[in-house]
Amino acid sequence: MAGEKSPPLYKILSSSGRIRILTLLSEVEQLHLTEIAKRTDQSYSATERHLDDLSKAGIVEERDYGRVRVFKLNLTNDRAKLLQELIVKWNYNQEVSPVQAQA
């Protein structure tokens, strides 16, 4: 990807499907494509398309083990790390807020 310009943030986050994938991959180390599709409630082809876009952007890494394609966040990419931090903090704050309101 040397010399390629990263897509703007709005392109990465413009799809709820990509956001669900990023959220899932922020919570687990890695998953195969079929499991990602199942857990994000998307079709295999839509999930594959989103993952291909995220791979081209350098946000996720793909490893092939024969016919099995495994994906994980590319944590060597600063933007992927920032997205993971945002997702984790966002979800953590959403889970904590109702408890704090009761106290």
CATH number at residue 86: 1.10.10.10
> Which has more pLDDT, 103 or 4?
4
The reply to whether 58 falls in a domain is yes
Reported confidence tier of residue 1, pLDDT bands at 50, 70, 90: very low
The reply to whether 62 falls in a domain is yes
**Hey, what are 6's tokens?**
């990263």
The reply to whether 2 falls in a domain is no
Which structural domain, as residue segments, surrounds residue 74?
Answer: 9-102
Summarised one tens digit per residue, pLDDT across range 16-55 is 999 999 999 999 989 999 999 999 999 999 999 999 999 9
The reply to whether 3 falls in a domain is no
Mean pLDDT of 74-79: 94
Tally of domains within the chain: 1
pLDDT computed for residue 6 by the predictor: 79
CA distances from 97 to 83, 88, 89 (A): 21, 14, 12
Closest by Cα among 56, 53, 57 to 79: 57
* Statement: the pTM of the whole predicted model exceeds 0.85: no
